[in-house]
Every structure is written in structure tokens, then in C-alpha cells.
């Protein structure tokens, strides 16, 4: 069945929470550079990937962006919030991800993108001391102020639609509690200013959904991953996606673990450690923020390997994840994996991965794709958790009935089949 897709007319406002961060500035600069013809959108499915339409024999592989009505990069308008007042040009110079030549290519545009004051509470990100923050810490007032920001931005920039993406710091670990389980109890807790269970990120998410703007959670924060938000997004008919961008080490895991399972090879242990020296690394050096990340990173292997179905292969895995803040490396993370695998008749073998990656370079194209696809989902009339976007996320959100899908290639098939369905093409099962 073909969906009626509202056309991508007018401007799309892209509001980034954590606008001055390494990921955000790299995302904004790269997108502006691509649309000026100064760079290539490497890593972006929306900009580069093709999609097979029809039977194999038809040999028809158009680019996704040529057959799916995505918003044109020229129609994006950037804005957002940060706890520091620097414009994106200054922020990018501080982040030291991109070199001067690349930043200067779009300097004038970057100078004009200044963050709005943030909704921030230092108890939730202990290592940061923000100066550019909204005065109130009252959760309901903060939410109202963010809603006003979204409306004002939309009006000032003559935007047709807005998408909000969280690429701000990881908050401290927050387990789901009773108040998160329904919209009524959640709103009550906000109005009672329960600062202990309503994270600032939840204020952004609630505000965004209330304003009809899709919300994407790129950090492992609980935020959207609660029944109250699922209920609200269904009520307001707004798509939501999260959580935690799937970039370096976890992307490798979601490729290697399915390989082991497909070949029925066993696993004894998986030790992952990495060093990174950017601000994200500094925030994650705080045990409470690290806990949020650790939970997100640990969930992957068990869900892929299904130890309950294969106790002889995966019944006793030792899985450890470490993140070490090491300033000299800045954004250029190095991640090591030691994987102890088991073969025929129980003979042990080892796999070693040394991934010298650049965190923000891997995350930026994901931001672009998530923004464009969430906007597409809104125009298609899809709402609630967008499971088809799990491909981009380390801890794909799911309701209580469904188990998450972590396998990168199954996720990719789901993404493409969803696109095929949207444009009235046959989904593909690879039997032809
Ligand atoms: N780069 C990756 O590969 C990757 C992968 C998965 C998740 N992430 C997550 O993406 C996020 C951003 O990463 P980064 O390297 O850009 O970090 P960063 O520290 O450079 O940027 C985060 C920005 O958020 C701002 N901020 C913090 N709290 C805020 C609030 N309440 N409101 C508005 N702004 C706020 C900070 O001032 C900072 O500018 C982190 O949570 C990180 O864990 C990154």
C-alpha cells in the first residue's frame, strides 16, 4: 500500500540540543559544506545509498534521494541550544574535530548560528558548568520555555516544519520509575517539579512532541524511552527515535556478533576498551554518566546472540566495556576489542580489533539521516517509536511487547523495506 506523503515544501528547521558540541558542529558544518559543493556526504545513506526496486532481473538501483521525497539540503535551517554561548564557528574551533580550511569554507553561515540558552541542571551532567542557561530549573517552566523557543525559531526562519535532535551530553543514569509509566503521572511529576526523576532532556523531548516536531535522542539518556513519551508521541502523532548513535565500537559489535551467530561459533568473552579525549570523554569520566552509556553498550551482544536459545554457545559470556578519558587523543578515539571465540570441539580462538576512528566524523552523517528520515516519517503520518531507524542506534527503543533488533544488516533491510513501502514499491525478501 502506498502512503500519501506530504511534499517536503518550504524550510525544515533543524534544532540541535548541544549545538556547540563536537558531533553537532561537525554535523552542521558538513551539511553546509555539502550543499555548497565543498564536500562529499560520506557515511550518509540519504545522500549516497541506492535502493533496489523491483525484481533482481530488472536491475533497477536508483539513489534513495531520487525516489524518496526527502527534504533538500538547501531547505535546512539550523539552530539549537547549548549551555555555552559560542556560535557554531567558535564551537567548532574549540572542538578541534575539523581543520581550519573546512570550517572556514562555511564561516559566515556558522557565525550566524548561535545557540539559545539551554535547559540545564548540573546535577544531571556533573562535569559541566554552563553559563548560557535558562534561569528557572522548574521542569514545567523549562518545558514551556523550550516550546516557545521552537515556535519563535519556526516563525523567525519561516520554517514549515521542525525536527529536534539531541546531540548533547550524556546525563546521569536514571532507571525508569512509576511516574514515567503514563503521560498523566509524568505530567504530574513535571508540574510538581520532581527534579530527581525528570531529566532536562525530558523537557526538550516533551516540548518538541508538544510542538509537533519529531525528536531524536542521540545519547543513551532514558528520556524518550518511557511509556509516557510513547503515549504522548502517539497522542500528538509525532515520530520519535532513539537512543544513542551507533557509531564506532558498537557498530563493529553489531557486525561481528551476527557473524559468529550465523556460523554457530561460540563466544566466551568480549572485552571492549577505548581512549578518547573530547568533552564527551570528560563527561563520561563521571561514573554516573558512564553508567548510562555502559547499560546502552552492554545490551547489544545478548540480544543478538540469544543465549537462552544457544546455551552451549553463549550461555556464559564475560562482557566488559570500558571508556577511558585520555585528553591527548581529543576526538580521535581508539577502541580495542578482544573477542574470545570458540570453534569446533570447543577449541578457543581470538579476534582483535583496533579501530582508530573519529567519533564525530562517524556520528555526523547519522544525525543528517535521522533528521531527514524523521521528517519524512512525519510527512508520511507515522508516529511513535520509529523502529525502522534502529539501524542508526545502539539501544533501539521498543515497546514492552517487542524485542529490539540489533543486527546491523537486518536493521538495514528493515529501513529499506520501510522506504519501499512508503513509496508504493514491493518489499524485498531476496527470494527472487
Ligand atoms: N560521537 C559519537 O560517536 C557518539 C556516539 C553515540 C552517542 N554520542 C553522544 O552524543 C552526544 C554528543 O557527543 P559530543 O562528542 O558532541 O559531546 P560534546 O561534549 O562535544 O557536546 C555536547 C554538547 O552538549 C552541551 N550540553 C550539555 N547539556 C546540555 C543541555 N542540557 N542543553 C543544551 N546543551 C547541552 C554541551 O555544552 C556540549 O556543547 C553525547 O551524549 C555522546 O555520548 C556520540
DSSP string, 84-103: S---HHHHHHHHT-S-HHHH
Mean residue pLDDT of the chain comes to: 94
In the reported structure, the alpha carbon of residue 18 is separated from the centroid of ligand 1 by a whole-number distance in angstroms of 6
399 or 265, which is more confident: 265
Residue 83 CA, ligand 1 centroid: distance in Å = 11
Bond preceding residue 225 cis, omega within 30 of 0: no
Domains defined for the chain, CATH in brackets = 11-245+361-422 (3.40.50.720), 249-356 (3.30.360.10)
Give residue 21 CA to ligand 1 midpoint distance, Å: 6
Which whole number is the average pLDDT over 22-47? 97
pLDDT on residue 2: 58
Burial of 410 (0-12, 13-18, 19+ CB in 10 A): middle
Higher pLDDT, 100 or 431: 100
Mean pLDDT of 202-230: 97
Nearest Cα residue to atom 6 of ligand 1: 245
Does the beta carbon of 142 lie inside 6 Å of ligand 1? no
Once rounded to an integer, what is the mean pLDDT over residues 378-392?
97
Mean pLDDT over residues 409-428, rounded? Answer: 96
By most ligand atoms within 8 Å of CB, the mutation choice from 16, 18, 139, 208 for ligand 1 is: 18
Indicate if ligand 1 lies below 6 Å from the C-beta of 202.
Answer: no
pLDDT of 1 > 50? The answer is no
What confidence category does residue 293 fall into, taking pLDDT thresholds of 50, 70 and 90? confident
3 pLDDT above the threshold of 90: no
Mean pLDDT to the nearest integer, 79-106: 96
The DSSP 8-state label assigned to residue 370 in this structure reads H
Q: What percent of the chain has pLDDT over 70?
A: 99
Higher local confidence (pLDDT), 201 or 279: 201
Pairwise CA distance, residues 283 & 21, whole Å = 12
Cα separation, 219 vs 201, whole angstroms: 10
Any atom of ligand 1 within 6 Å of the Cβ of 97 = no
**Greater pLDDT, 204 or 400:** 204
Strand 334-342 and strand 266-276: the pairing is antiparallel
Q: Give residue 420's pLDDT.
A: 97
Strands of the sheet containing 11-17, edge to edge, are 116-117, 76-82, 11-17, 159-166, 215-217, 239-242, 384-385
- The CB of 166 under 6 Å from ligand 1? The reply is no
Q: Is 168 in the pocket of ligand 1 (CB under 6 A)?
A: yes
Q: Is the pLDDT at 57 greater than 60, yes or no?
A: yes
User: What's the average model confidence in pLDDT over 408-430?
Assistant: 95
Instruction: Check pocket membership of 146 for ligand 1, CB cut-off 6 A.
Output: no
Contacts with 333 (C-beta within 8 Å, 6 or more apart), sequence order:
248, 274, 275, 276, 281, 355, 356, 357, 358, 359
**Residue 360 near residue 311, CB atoms below 8 Å:** no
357 lines ligand 1 (CB under 6 A): no
Q: Which residue has the higher pLDDT, 359 or 296?
A: 359
Cα–ligand 1 centroid distance for 26 (angstroms): 12
Determine the atom of ligand 1 nearest the C-alpha atom of 245. Answer: 6
Q: Which tens digit of pLDDT belongs to each residue from 114-135? A: 999 999 998 999 888 889 999 9
Q: How far is the CA of 167 from the centre of ligand 1 (A)?
A: 5
Q: Tell me how far apart the alpha carbons of residues 409 and 388 are, in angstroms, rounded to a whole number.
A: 12
Residue 115: CB within 6 Å of ligand 1? Answer: no
Query: Rounded mean pLDDT of 146-174?
Result: 97
Amino acid at each position: 500500500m502506498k502512503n500519501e506523503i506530504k511534499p517536503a515544501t518550504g524550510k525544515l528547521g533543524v534544532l540541535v540540543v548541544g549545538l556547540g558540541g563536537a558531533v553537532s558542529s561537525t554535523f552542521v558544518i558538513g551539511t553546509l559544506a555539502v550543499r555548497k559543493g565543498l564536500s562529499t556526504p560520506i557515511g550518509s545513506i540519504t545522500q549516497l545509498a541506492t535502493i533496489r526496486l523491483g525484481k533482481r532481473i530488472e536491475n533497477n538501483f536508483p539513489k534513495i534521494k531520487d525516489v524518496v521525497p526527502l527534504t533538500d539540503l538547501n531547505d535546512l535551517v539550523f539552530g539549537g541550544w547549548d549551555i555555552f554561548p559560542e556560535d557554531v564557528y567558535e564551537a567548532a574551533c574549540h572542538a578541534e574535530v575539523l581543520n581550519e580550511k573546512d570550517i572556514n569554507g562555511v564561516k559566515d553561515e556558522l557565525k550566524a548560528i548561535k545557540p539559545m540558552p539551554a535547559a540545564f541542571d548540573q546535577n544531571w551532567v556533573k562535569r559541566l558548568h554552563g553559563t548560557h542557561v535558562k534561569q528557572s530549573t522548574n521542569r514545567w517552566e523549562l518545558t514551556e520555555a523550550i516550546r516557545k523557543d521552537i515556535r519563535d525559531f519556526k516563525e523567525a526562519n519561516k520554517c514549515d516544519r521542525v525536527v529536534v535532535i539531541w546531540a548533547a551530553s550524556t546525563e546521569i543514569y536514571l532507571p525508569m520509575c512509576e511516574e514515567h509509566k503514563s503521560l498523566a503521572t509524568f505530567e504530574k511529576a513535571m508540574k510538581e517539579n520532581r527534579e530527581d526523576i525528570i531529566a532536562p532532556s525530558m523537557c526538550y523531548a516533551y516540548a518538541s512532541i508538544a510542538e509537533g516536531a519529531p525528536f531524536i535522542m542521540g545519547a543513551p539518556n532514558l528520556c524518550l524511552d518511557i511509556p509516557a513519551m510513547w503515549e504522548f508521541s502517539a497522542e500528538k502523532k509525532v515520530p520519535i527515535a532513539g537512543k544513542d548513535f551507533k557509531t564506532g565500537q558498537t557498530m563493529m559489535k553489531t557486525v561481528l556478533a551476527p557473524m559468529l551467530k550465523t556460523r554457530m561459533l561460540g563466544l566466551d568473552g568480549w572485552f571492549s576498551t577505548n581512549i578518547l579525549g573530547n568533552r564527551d570523554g570528560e563527561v563520561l569520566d563521571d561514573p554516573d554518566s558512564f553508567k548510562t552509556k555502559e547499560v546502552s553498550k552492554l545490551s547489544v551482544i545478548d540480544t543478538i546472540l540469544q543465549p537462552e536459545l544457544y546455551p552451549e554457545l553463549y550461555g556464559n559470556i564475560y562482557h566488559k566495556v570500558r571508556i577511558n578519558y585520555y585528553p591527548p587523543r581529543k576526538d580521535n578515539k581508539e577502541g580495542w576489542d578482544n573477542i574470545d571465540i570458540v570453534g569446533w570441539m570447543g577449541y578457543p580462538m581470538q579476534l582483535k580489533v583496533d579501530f582508530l576512528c573519529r567519533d564525530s566524523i562517524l556520528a555526523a552523517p547519522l544525525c543528517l539521516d535521522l533528521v531527514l528520515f524523521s521528517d519524512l516519517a512525519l510527512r508520511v503520518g507515522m508516529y511513535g517509536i520509529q523502529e525502522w531507524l534502529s539501524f542508526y542506534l545502539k539501544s533501539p527503543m521498543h515497546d514492552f511487547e517487542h524485542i529490539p533488533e540489533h543486527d546491523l544488516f537486518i536493521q538495514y533491510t528493515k529501513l529499506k523495506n520501510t522506504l519501499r513501502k512508503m513509496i508504493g514499491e514491493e518489499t524485498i525478501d531476496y527470494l527472487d
